[in-house]
């Protein structure tokens, strides 16, 4: 318990490149979540380089899924930054349909986009299209997918550090040799990295994993409730559950509450959003720790990274987004109710110095 009381929320975590992929319908709707507004752009002071000096620049954002509070905020940040830069951003959302994401990426390549941002996705599905885009001369920036294609810029959080920060809290909360549960899905780069840390930490702590369930859909939180509920029916003696993605964590929380185990089972998640904050601070919530970045700021930073790459000014193949660890205790003690308040309490969430230049109107919080 002791380490939970420490200012873990102020712990900065390094993060590295990851892949972006998406697909399907154009989207321009902004999130209506209270307290999760995109910051106004800081004015640019320098002259625009080519191709931005020559008029509107076309960029495609291809997403594996835009569903869920975190990804909605991520998309809002990307759209706000694109607007500030004068980018004509076409957004595709495959709604967790991997085959459709590949089709969407193909459509983006043929649309005349000068750059493509790929947000998540399975390498086996999207790698051939990434290769095609690069060969055609389209700049490609990816988030949270592994790719070995030369010329692709990768952006990502440091998922290993993020998972470790949360599991350090879990170790103090549940102790050694505890019976625990695990909710995760293989095949996603970020979740696979978090899984590697889980396996090592579980072995080091002597935890007895009683179950592993989980799936990612276009309604991940809702669709995981019955899976976790069934697992808890068979293993109601677990004292902690690690669900290293906030939609998985939300589904886990609902399952724990449905089984009336919130006084016995603690949930440890990853990522943070306005809905996550509300979930963690609610009376009787079993969700005691998470870690993540400001999704809106990350979405904006990925677009700025793309702009720098288009202008020939990035000069690197990967970009890192720092994250912070956040506990339920910290949120309650600081009376934090939304992302705007969290940003004020945790300046480490501000990515204003990541992927920027004097000609970029910066919307980072």
Beta-sheet strands, E only, within the chain: 12-13, 57-63, 87-93, 115-119, 139-143, 153-157, 179-183, 208-213, 240-242, 266-268, 287-292, 318-321, 323-327
Position 218 scores a pLDDT of: 87
Residues 20, 81: Cα–Cα separation, whole Å: 16
Cβ-contact 178, 209 below 8 angstroms: no
CATH number at residue 278: 3.40.50.2300
CA–CA distances in Å: residue 174 to residues 1, 164, 205, 241, 242: 8, 15, 10, 10, 11
Residues 293, 295: Cα–Cα separation, whole Å: 6
Q: Are residues 211 and 285 in the same domain?
A: yes
Q: Are residues 148 and 256 in the same domain?
A: no
Q: In the block, which residue shows the tokens 């069934």?
A: 230
Cβ-contact 24, 159 below 8 angstroms: no
Position 364 scores a pLDDT of: 60
Instruction: Calculate helix-pair angle for 69-85, 274-281, nearest 10 degrees.
Output: 150
pTM for the full model?
Answer: 0.75
Q: Are residues 171 and 212 in the same domain?
A: yes
Position 32 scores a pLDDT of: 35
Residues 287, 85: Cα–Cα separation, whole Å: 38
In a domain? residue 238: yes
Q: Are residues 106 and 194 in the same domain?
A: no
φ/ψ of residue 363, rounded to 5? -105, 10
Q: In the block, which residue shows the tokens 């090592």?
A: 200
For the chain, report the end-to-end CA distance as a whole number of angstroms: 32
φ/ψ of residue 284, rounded to 5? 75, 10
Cβ-contact 328, 288 below 8 angstroms: yes
CA–CA distances in Å: residue 287 to residues 171, 279, 293: 15, 7, 18
In a domain? residue 345: no
Q: Are residues 164 and 269 in the same domain?
A: yes
Query: Considering its fold, how many domains does the chain have in total?
Result: 2
Give me the tens of pLDDT residue by residue for the chain, a chain 365 residues long: 222 222 333 333 333 223 222 233 233 333 333 344 455 567 889 999 999 999 999 999 999 999 888 899 999 999 999 999 999 999 999 998 999 999 999 999 999 999 999 999 988 899 999 999 999 999 999 998 889 899 999 999 888 889 998 999 999 999 999 999 999 999 888 899 999 999 999 999 999 999 999 999 989 999 999 999 999 999 999 999 999 999 999 999 999 999 999 999 999 999 998 999 999 999 999 999 999 889 999 999 999 999 999 999 999 999 988 778 899 999 999 999 999 999 999 988 888 889 999 999 988 65
Domain with 60, as residue range(s), is 42-155+295-322
Token representation of residue 196: 């590697």
Cβ-contact 344, 281 below 8 angstroms: no
């Amino acid at each position: 318990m002791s380490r939970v009381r420490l200012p873990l929320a102020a712990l900065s975590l390094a993060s590295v490149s990851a892949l972006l992929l998406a697909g399907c319908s154009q989207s321009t709707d902004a999130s209506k979540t209270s307290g999760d507004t995109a910051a106004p752009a800081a004015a640019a002071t320098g002259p625009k380089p080519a191709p931005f000096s020559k008029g509107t620049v076309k960029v495609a954002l291809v997403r594996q899924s835009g569903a869920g509070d975190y990804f909605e905020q991520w998309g809002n940040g990307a759209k706000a930054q694109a607007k500030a830069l004068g980018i004509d951003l076409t957004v595709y959302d495959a709604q967790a349909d991997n085959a459709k994401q590949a089709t969407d990426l193909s459509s983006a390549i043929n649309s005349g986009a000068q750059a493509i941002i790929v947000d998540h996705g399975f390498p086996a599905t999207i790698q051939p299209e990434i290769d095609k885009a690069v060969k055609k001369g389209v700049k490609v920036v990816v988030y949270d997918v592994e790719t070995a294609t030369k010329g692709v810029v990768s952006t990502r959080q440091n998922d290993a550090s993020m998972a470790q920060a949360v599991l350090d809290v879990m170790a103090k909360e549940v102790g050694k040799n505890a019976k625990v549960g695990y909710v995760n899905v293989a095949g996603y780069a970020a979740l696979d990295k978090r899984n590697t840390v889980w396996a090592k930490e579980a072995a080091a702590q002597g935890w007895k994993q009683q179950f592993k369930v989980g799936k990612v859909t276009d309604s991940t939180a809702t669709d995981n409730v019955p899976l976790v509920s069934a697992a808890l029916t068979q293993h109601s003696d677990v004292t902690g559950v690690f669900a290293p993605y906030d939609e998985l964590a939300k589904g886990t929380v609902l399952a724990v509450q449905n089984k009336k185990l919130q006084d016995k089972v603690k949930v440890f998640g990853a990522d943070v959003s306005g809905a996550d904050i509300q979930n963690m601070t609610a009376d009787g919530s079993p969700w005691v720790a998470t870690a993540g970045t400001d999704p809106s700021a990350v979405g904006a930073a990925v677009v700025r990274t793309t702009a720098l790459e288009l202008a020939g000014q990035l000069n690197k193949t990967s970009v890192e987004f720092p994250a912070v660890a956040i506990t339920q205790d910290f949120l309650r003690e600081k009376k934090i109710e939304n992302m705007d308040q969290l940003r004020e309490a945790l300046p480490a969430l501000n990515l204003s110095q990541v992927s920027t230049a004097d000609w970029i109107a910066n919307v980072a919080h």
